Amino acid sequence: MANLATKAGVEGTHKLKIHAPLIKLSKAGIVKAGAALGVDFSITSSCYDPGAKGEPCGSCDSCLLRAKGFTEAGVQDPLLAKFARS
């Protein structure tokens, strides 16, 4: 679509390609890869309905998938601990 819906793509001046290196990984696989790379998960969130301070709701699909991924990866989600202290 990017090659059909952008000026550069239509004019042929640039061939656009989208890279999605994590697409074939499960949520647990993504968590494991991030942990191995030293990702600070306490500053990440994808909650659809976060609270005023950015705290995750814990019940939307995104929060449930995140929790499942961390559980299956055997990694504690630091975002939960971060807001449990608040």
Instruction: Give tens-digit pLDDT for 62-83.
Output: 999 999 999 999 999 999 888 8
Segments of the chain scoring below 70 in pLDDT: 85-86
pLDDT at 86: 54
pLDDT at 1: 77
Report the interhelical angle of 61-73 vs 27-37 (nearest 10°). 60
pLDDT at 43: 93
pTM of the prediction? 0.76
